[in-house]
Structure 1
Amino acid sequence: MSKVTINDLFDLKTIATPVYHPDGNQFLYVVNQINQTENNYYSNIYLYNCEKGETKEIIANQSLNTHPLWNRAGTAFLFLSNKTGKNQVYLYTFLTKTVKQLTEVSEGVQQVLWHTDDQHFFFGTKRTNNSVLKHEVKEHPNVFITESINYLENGKGLVSSDGQNVICVGAIDRAEVKIVTAYHTAYGLKNSLALSSDGKYLVVEKKLNSSDAFNQDSGLFRIDLEDFSEEKITDSYSTGAFGEPTYTTNNDFIGMIGSTLPYQTVNQFGVFAYNVMEKSMVQLTEKLDQQVSDFAVSDTKATTSNPLLQWSKRQNCFYTLVSLEGRVSLFSMTLNGTIKELNSKSQHVTDFTLNPKKNELLACVSTAQIPSQLIKIDLDTLQQEELKIIDEVYKGKSFSSYKKIEYQAADGGRVPGFIVPPTDFITGKKYPLVVNIHGGPYAMHADTFHHEVQLLAAQGYFVLLVNPRGSFGYGQQHLNGVVGRYGQEDYTDILTAVDGVIEAIEEIDVGRLFVTGGSYGGFMVNWIISHTNRFKAAITQRSMSNFVSMLGTSDIGYHFFVEENDADILNPERLWEKSPLAYVKNVETPVLIMQSEQDYRCPMEQAEQWFRALKYLKKEARFVRFNHADHELSRSGLPNLRQVRLQEMIDWLKKYDQN
């Protein structure tokens, strides 16, 4: 058995978006891969015949082909493809085995939904300058002018203030496009649309106050497709964020995922149901103190498009994903509030779909040692069966396993997480430890495949994955513990976990401790090394160092950091007090700084200030700047840049790990 290497990243395959045919006897699915030669990603769409156990390739064009969606007749499917540069809607027809492009919009398409008549479809895109929704070749502008505070967006760059996300309706047999309404997708959710089974009503998530850049609240609106009148169905709550609308079979209830509190990332999502006749709302997850949706951390997550909330006519309940206790599980929820976890096994369910004809579902699953697999679950017996639809990924590779850990903080708080031993672990031998801190802070280390973690284990390191205050999966109180308290209990939680594993595992060499992290995790690396010298070397990535300047340079700084630190530009002392840069003189740990040029979430200036300050004080630091990369470098950046990033990490650790 060979150990994981950096180049194994290029062999990765992940399964996503299984969707059953209306007869339940076959399904489409997506396989995501990396093309090392072309330095890009591509995904193909396949069809699996359940009766024959056979699979065949349907769409393969070295592009990202995603979002497959059957029509009601089961004779064709829509999908999105970026083969012309940006996502457009395409139609595949089985009778003729042909592909037809249905949209040509300049800003690309984010989501798509069939109309019940099989002749029309809804899609989400962005309209600018009230222009006709046609692709237009424009000269590069030489000036950008705005009067909007939210003029910048990570992954997109400068954003025109006259742009608006809109839902349009198109036809499969003619080039007609009509704007239906504006729409919004709350952070952490995927789908903003649902159509009643009679095709009369479209439910759409929209911002409650689109003109207020400080208000991130959203609600669900039911649109009458005959006269296009709108009704706010989340009117029971004046604040909150609601998305993932889902009709029950008879259109008598509309399920949704959201929160009634003013939108902030720290607030957990739950499941709600709206009674269409009574015009009343009930929260189905009132007794579930966990985050509904998938917030597990991984660098191998596939893009998924199936709804996070799905209704089962046969089981008479909703199904959804919940992030809890270091796993992402499938849960069922009835309208009377009965909640059940299908399986409490430590794993990461990334996507699922319900069989329309049988009491079963398909789930895409990842574990620490399995990047991606497709599982069929019998909903009566909960028995699971793996469907071998792709060749075994990483056959002959040796992986390390995750072991759950938990310690108690000085104030009684929980300090949970995982410890990952070196791949070639030998009892009695001493090994170094790398603390790997997740971003967010509202995210969660989970029992899922993480190439970077397995690579570190293969290089002979213990890897400590802590879920300190601010992590999802352990209830709202655990999340609230970081708000306004960056660098306090979250910092001591991490050190508590370090002390705990050192005491529990004698093979950890206390003189060879290292720390790394990205985004919020990068902030925490900077904070740690400016408050303790116990680590031999550090790696800070897409990090934060100065909240005073970041308030004005991050795409979300003007509201997120105000919420997080309870201070704004009128109170810079508070922001500076929470900034690692204020304590840079204390740093004695050699630090590798890695930042992306097009990262507008944690801008380059944060790394520049940190690096320059360290060098000014004659500290040991190395600065790696990645062009053509943004905040998502480690997860979906250009493959060759991800390769360089991992090599820089390993080289830096080895440089200071001279045993």
Structure 2
Amino acid sequence: MKKYFLFIFLVMLSLGIFLPVNAEEINQQSVSFTVSQWLTAGPVVVQMPAFYQRNNMMGKSFSPVDLLKFQQKPVTDVKAGTDFLVTDGQQVIWKDQSSSTISSITDDLALKWQAFYIQVNRYVPVNITVNTTQDFELFVNGNLTLSKYDADGKAAQKSDSLKLEPGKYLVVIKSLYQKKYNAPWQVDAKVSYDKKFTGQAISLSTSDEQLLDLSHILLGKMLTNTQLSDDGTLVLLNFSETYPPDGKTVNWFEVKSIADHKVIFSSLHSDRYQAEWVPGSHKITYVADNGVSQALMCYNLDTHHEKVLMNKLERFSGYEWDHFGKYLIFSIEEKYEKDTSGVFMVHGMEDRLPSYRIRTQLFMLKINDLSITPLTYGYLTNNLEDISPDDHRILIAQNFPDYTERPYTKQVMMEMNLNTMKVDTLWFTSFGGDAVYSPDGKQLLVTGSPSMFNGIGNILKKGTIPNDFDLQAYLFNLSDHKVTPLTRDFTPALLQSYWNPYDKQIYFLVSDRSYQDIWKLNPETKQFQKLDTHVDVINQMSFATKSPMLSYSGTSISHPATGWVYNLSDGKDTEVSNPEKSFFKNIEFGKIEDWNFVDKQGLTIEGRVYYPPNYDPSKTYPLIVYYYGGTDPTTRDFGGRYPLNLFAAMGYMVYTLQPSGATGFGQKFSALHVNGWGKENAQDIIEGTKKFIAAHPNVEADNVGCIGASYGGYMTLWLQTQTNIFKTAIDHAGISFIGSYWGQGYWGYSYSAVASANSFPWNNKKLYVDQSPLFNADKVHTPILLLQGTADTNVPTGESIQFYTAMKILGRTADFVEVKGQNHHILDYKDRIMWQKTIFAWFAKYLKNQPEWWDALYPHKDL
């Protein structure tokens, strides 16, 4: 009996009866998948339009196949059980089915949609073959790639080749049934690829779950800011959304009721921007552009009345309301043109900057009569710092170059009496800062470097130069100019500060190691308290002045931006915006863990590891190491130009760390950045990478790559002169010669005033020469990819060019990809996509032994 069943089984197997769903067939040349599980919608009966027999103006009549070509509805986000169309009062839903044949159709014309997903795990050219008796169109991610419009009732086969990059693709076949052909309505499909593309290059499914891809980084409705009304009942939300294929970006704002989450105002599809709350009311002001001129408008959300405050705005650059809605102060730009003859003198280093000759002056708009009063004048920009609580005084800051001492700028902070126009100087100093009034108007809350106010905020031992990017807070008494440091022993670095008039407490948005949090300081007890918030990296905060409410927005390590309102009385917060919730509903993220170590100096170096979403501890994975190494930590924010979740989704383990010198870890730690340039921080990266590999045996130690940009690009180049642990390296806009960056970059000398404090090419050749990768290029044997925009004004493009030249003269493996017209960051939508793919393809070539993607992007040329 057993032999009989075995015989039957073998016969059935030979006939293909037991072929599994989406079966994989392998022959000597290719791997092929037959699509045997579909998501189907339909059939939907369709009819010819009225007067279809008549010719149109081009002499063409309407044929049944034109019903196929007509797009009834875009097909996106296909999922079993969800609605697709409503026809004749009946819902057409997507069904998960194995059959591709419809037999019970009696109408003359009908349409059917069949869909499946292709998960592509590496770059691979595929061939899609469709066999059917009917006319059809095939779409891949919404793009028409294959069609047949000449059906005659006989089965025919059509194929198309596609070059697919890693990601998930929705394939939809839309077919037209015509009863007159008396042929079965069946559509079969097969997907195949060359067997030389090793590994499981693709898989087919009917599941809409997917891994993170680049479109989810660049597209979607992104929350960018929140602002609370004074009473804390309404919140103004700013959004931005980018649209393919050209990357057009739309910005708008909405006003939402916090109680019921209803949107009561939206500027979408209207040119309104720079929205602000009018104090003590449910009114907002904004700049409106009608295509001819700009105007500052005021809109009453209760009465829906709109009023013009200022018309025909020219060179308008911003404004700020007082505390009682009686006036606002705005700024106007004045631009002093350079000599247009083509020969002109540069007046100082800043004069190289295109914006340097744009200066702004302050004006007051009185609301009762809409009259305007000029407040400042002169050749220096006057910046409004704050308005006093009684609205009678304002703080004005002037900043100008001074090359006699570090940091090569001077600041004058002044207080103006708006009634008398009298101006008093509060300080005149080399290290400036920002200032706001205390709620009683008797003190200022000042934020600036540890060197400000003669170094009163500096806790380091004598002779140690602090990191002046590690901002501190001070109290400045207006009556006697006494200064009291507030945050000398507070480890986090300050990003934003606010002295709340409602509860009289001081709030700081801070960089706290790899997080960005909100902390509260009691100015009487000097006690700090961290607020328990819902996101890892808070980007901004806003306070209601007449209720215990604050709003904030930010991202988390595996979640895009959300907005929250926090009650300061009970510590509870409520989500008010999660605009990308549905966009990310099907995205599967991998596990992320903290991974720290103690370096040779005894310092704890914090880091974290991103695992691939389908991580299997029994398998091995290539590793990408990402760092900045400069003064800022690599925070736990989502997205960005180097999206670590996305690297992990492409099958890599990813390790990022905070080398010594980063802010957010205290002054002693951040001071290691000063005159460091690859000393301790590079050794931290090397030591951390070695220890990480040792602690993770499933890391492929022979397939470890690294990547960094700007100062991180410098680190990438420098690391290759110090170690051979990396199989490949990617540098974007890295500094190869510290001296040329110092002298040529727009901000080279001013950044170096902190990073290379008191060191110059003439007094510290050891730093400028010995610590420059260019002068150690002969030690590099690692294949390197150099990336940079041709219009980079921060790190001049020559930094990449000269290192590329060195690599070529030395006979080392290096490629250089320039992005035309782009500055330090690659912001153009299409360029950003190509730049990002270049990075992915390079890593695939060297860390996965998959050179085909790189070769497709940059084919060899005999030049």
- Once the two structures are TM-superposed, the CA of residue 24 in structure 1 deviates from its matched residue by 2.3
- Once the two structures are TM-superposed, the CA of residue 581 in structure 1 deviates from its matched residue by 0.3
- Once the two structures are TM-superposed, the CA of residue 10 in structure 1 deviates from its matched residue by 3.1
Residue 538 (1) aligns with residue 729 (2): yes
Give the equivalent residue in structure 1 for 2:244: 36
Residue 373 (1) aligns with residue 562 (2): yes
- Give the secondary-structure state (helix, strand or coil) at the position aligned to 1:376: strand
Give the equivalent residue in structure 1 for 2:830: 640
Give the equivalent residue in structure 1 for 2:759: 567
Greater radius of gyration (CA): 2
Aligned match of 1:443 in 628, 632, 638?
Answer: 632
**Alignment CA distance shift 1:6-1:345 (3 Å):** closer
Aligned match of 1:93 in 299, 302, 321?
Answer: 299
Give me the whole-angstrom Cα distance separating, in 2, the residues matched to 1:515 and 1:522. Answer: 10
Residue by residue over 1:419-467, the C-alpha shift from the partner in whole angstroms, topping out at 9 and shown as x without a partner, is: 111222111211111111226x111112221352111011111111111
Residue 50 (1) aligns with residue 236 (2): no
- Give the secondary-structure state (helix, strand or coil) at the position aligned to 2:823: coil
Contiguous gaps of at least 5 residues in structure 1 = 132-137, 186-190, 294-307
State the one-letter code of the partner of 2:478.
V
State the one-letter code of the partner of 2:432.
A
**Alignment CA distance shift 1:580-1:31 (3 Å):** same
Segment of structure 1 superposing worse, 517-526 or 337-346:
337-346
**Alignment CA distance shift 1:37-1:171 (3 Å):** farther
Residue 291 (1) aligns with residue 476 (2): no
> 1:492-641, aligned counterparts within 5 Å?
492-561=683-752, 563-565=754-756, 566-571=758-763, 573-574=765-766, 575-633=768-826, 637-641=827-831
Contiguous gaps of at least 5 residues in structure 2 = 1-208, 456-465, 850-863
Aligned match of 2:505 in 310, 314, 317?
Answer: 317
Give the equivalent residue in structure 1 for 2:376: 180
**Alignment CA distance shift 1:149-1:355 (3 Å):** closer
Q: TM-score, normalised by structure 1?
A: 0.85
- Once the two structures are TM-superposed, the CA of residue 542 in structure 1 deviates from its matched residue by 1.2
Give me the whole-angstrom Cα distance separating, in 2, the residues matched to 1:518 and 1:332. Answer: 34
Residue by residue over 1:159-218, the C-alpha shift from the partner in whole angstroms, topping out at 9 and shown as x without a partner, is: 55x543443434677685725268779xxxxx9521113221111233276687952353
Give the equivalent residue in structure 1 for 2:162: none
Give the equivalent residue in structure 2 for 1:169: 364
Residue by residue over 1:330-355, the C-alpha shift from the partner in whole angstroms, topping out at 9 and shown as x without a partner, is: 01112221211113877111111223
Residue by residue over 1:465-488, the C-alpha shift from the partner in whole angstroms, topping out at 9 and shown as x without a partner, is: 111012111111111112212111
| 1:30 and 1:45 in contact (8 A); partners too | yes
Aligned match of 1:7 in 199, 208, 215?
Answer: 215
State the one-letter code of the partner of 1:16.
T
**Alignment CA distance shift 1:80-1:655 (3 Å):** farther
| 1:266 and 1:470 in contact (8 A); partners too | no
- Once the two structures are TM-superposed, the CA of residue 554 in structure 1 deviates from its matched residue by 0.6
Aligned match of 1:420 in 573, 598, 610?
Answer: 610
Give the equivalent residue in structure 1 for 2:516: 328
| 1:184 and 1:192 in contact (8 A); partners too | no
Give the equivalent residue in structure 2 for 1:195: 387
Give me the whole-angstrom Cα distance separating, in 1, the residues matched to 2:558 and 2:482. Answer: 45
Segment of structure 1 superposing worse, 343-352 or 579-588:
343-352
| 2:228 and 2:550 in contact (8 A); partners too | no
- Once the two structures are TM-superposed, the CA of residue 501 in structure 1 deviates from its matched residue by 1.6
- Give the secondary-structure state (helix, strand or coil) at the position aligned to 2:743: helix
- Give the secondary-structure state (helix, strand or coil) at the position aligned to 1:539: strand
Aligned match of 1:221 in 414, 425, 431?
Answer: 414
Give the equivalent residue in structure 2 for 1:151: 351
Give me the whole-angstrom Cα distance separating, in 2, the residues matched to 1:615 and 1:174. Answer: 66
Give the equivalent residue in structure 1 for 2:431: 240
| 1:17 and 1:68 in contact (8 A); partners too | no
**Alignment CA distance shift 1:375-1:27 (3 Å):** closer
- Once the two structures are TM-superposed, the CA of residue 57 in structure 1 deviates from its matched residue by 4.5
Give me the whole-angstrom Cα distance separating, in 2, the residues matched to 1:652 and 1:432. Answer: 13
Residue by residue over 1:589-614, the C-alpha shift from the partner in whole angstroms, topping out at 9 and shown as x without a partner, is: 11111111221110111111111111
Residue by residue over 1:530-555, the C-alpha shift from the partner in whole angstroms, topping out at 9 and shown as x without a partner, is: 22222111110011001222222111
Give me the whole-angstrom Cα distance separating, in 1, the residues matched to 2:733 and 2:674. Answer: 20
- Give the secondary-structure state (helix, strand or coil) at the position aligned to 1:584: helix
**Alignment CA distance shift 1:151-1:265 (3 Å):** farther
- Once the two structures are TM-superposed, the CA of residue 410 in structure 1 deviates from its matched residue by 1.0
Aligned match of 1:390 in 579, 598, 601?
Answer: 579
Residue by residue over 1:392-434, the C-alpha shift from the partner in whole angstroms, topping out at 9 and shown as x without a partner, is: 1422111234322211111212211221112221112111111
Higher RCO (Cα < 8 Å, 6 or more apart):
1
Segment of structure 1 superposing worse, 140-149 or 415-424:
140-149
- Once the two structures are TM-superposed, the CA of residue 564 in structure 1 deviates from its matched residue by 2.8
Give the equivalent residue in structure 1 for 2:530: 341
The number of equivalent residue pairs is 617
State the one-letter code of the partner of 1:515.
C
Give the equivalent residue in structure 2 for 1:411: 601
State the one-letter code of the partner of 2:504.
N
Give me the whole-angstrom Cα distance separating, in 2, the residues matched to 1:611 and 1:82. Answer: 47
State the one-letter code of the partner of 2:556.
T
Give me the whole-angstrom Cα distance separating, in 2, the residues matched to 1:401 and 1:546. Answer: 39
- Give the secondary-structure state (helix, strand or coil) at the position aligned to 2:746: coil
Give me the whole-angstrom Cα distance separating, in 2, the residues matched to 1:139 and 1:145. Answer: 8
Give me the whole-angstrom Cα distance separating, in 2, the residues matched to 1:620 and 1:536. Answer: 11
Superposed CA RMSD: 3.1
**Alignment CA distance shift 1:607-1:491 (3 Å):** same
Give the equivalent residue in structure 2 for 1:22: 230
**Alignment CA distance shift 1:85-1:418 (3 Å):** farther
**Alignment CA distance shift 1:150-1:381 (3 Å):** same
State the one-letter code of the partner of 2:557.
A
| 1:432 and 1:508 in contact (8 A); partners too | yes
Give me the whole-angstrom Cα distance separating, in 2, the residues matched to 1:315 and 1:562. Answer: 39
Give the equivalent residue in structure 2 for 1:303: none
Give me the whole-angstrom Cα distance separating, in 2, the residues matched to 1:483 and 1:82. Answer: 47
| 1:44 and 1:57 in contact (8 A); partners too | no
Give me the whole-angstrom Cα distance separating, in 2, the residues matched to 1:99 and 1:12. Answer: 33
State the one-letter code of the partner of 1:538.
A
| 2:736 and 2:772 in contact (8 A); partners too | yes
Give the equivalent residue in structure 2 for 1:299: none
- Give the secondary-structure state (helix, strand or coil) at the position aligned to 2:376: strand
Give the equivalent residue in structure 2 for 1:301: none
